């Protein structure tokens, strides 16, 4: 069985889309793949309850527990690797996981680590992508599924969706339209990876 571990920090809407697609497309039967666990760095992440409602195992590795030690980022990533590796993942999927990962973490899951970013990469890596696209006068925005490398929001592009920027768009209205496309392209890109 190809185990998928999903990492979240918040509501888990992309996680939910992936789990729903996995069930609807019968990934266990057709791809010998399943979402084995959802892990959050925040104990209060709403997505944990959502995963549990789907019958998916959840874990928390709270990044704040590492704040008072030397090299807290490395210590957190080491603890996270230990938790993830219990599931022998074929894929580790970042779905709104709001942590910059260390090169050691990225190297450990090389070729198995994917992310979705709310812009048409390579444009607008980092935060506040929708407002930056509006402020720059872009006519289009979108989302990108990509393999994760040590460089933030880079890596081989697996899928993209394009959304027009409307004249009266705000960052919130644009974000909502982009998110509907994320929910389509992320599960599809993961499914393709599982088939390859």
CA dist., res. 146 & res. 10, Å (int): 20
Question: Which phi and psi (to 5°) does residue 186 adopt?
Answer: -70, -50
Catalytic residue list contains 117: yes
CA dist., res. 82 & res. 187, Å (int): 25
CA dist., res. 8 & res. 13, Å (int): 10
Q: Catalytic residue, from 63, 108, 117, 130: name it.
A: 117
Reference 106, options 75, 151, 76; nearest CA is: 151
CA dist., res. 180 & res. 159, Å (int): 14
- Annotated active-site positions, please? 117
């Amino acid at each position: 069985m190809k185990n998928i571990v999903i990492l979240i920090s918040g509501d888990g809407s992309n996680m939910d889309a992936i789990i729903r697609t996995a069930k609807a497309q019968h990934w266990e039967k057709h791809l010998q793949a399943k979402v084995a666990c959802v892990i959050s760095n925040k104990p209060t992440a709403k997505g944990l309850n959502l995963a549990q409602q789907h019958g998916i195992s959840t874990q928390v590795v709270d990044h704040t527990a590492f704040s008072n030690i030397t090299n807290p980022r490395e210590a957190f990533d080491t603890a996270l690797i230990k938790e993830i590796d219990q599931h022998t993942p074929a894929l580790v999927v970042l779905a709104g996981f709001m942590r910059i990962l260390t090169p050691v973490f990225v190297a450990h899951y090389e070729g198995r680590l994917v992310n979705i970013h709310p812009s048409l990469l390579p444009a607008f890596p980092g935060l506040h992508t929708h407002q930056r696209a509006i402020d720059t006068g872009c006519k289009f925005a979108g989302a990108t599924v990509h393999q994760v490398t040590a460089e933030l929001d880079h890596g081989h592009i697996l899928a993209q969706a394009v959304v027009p920027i409307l004249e009266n768009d705000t960052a919130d209205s644009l974000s909502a339209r982009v998110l509907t496309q994320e929910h389509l392209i992320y599960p599809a890109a993961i499914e393709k990876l599982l088939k390859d």
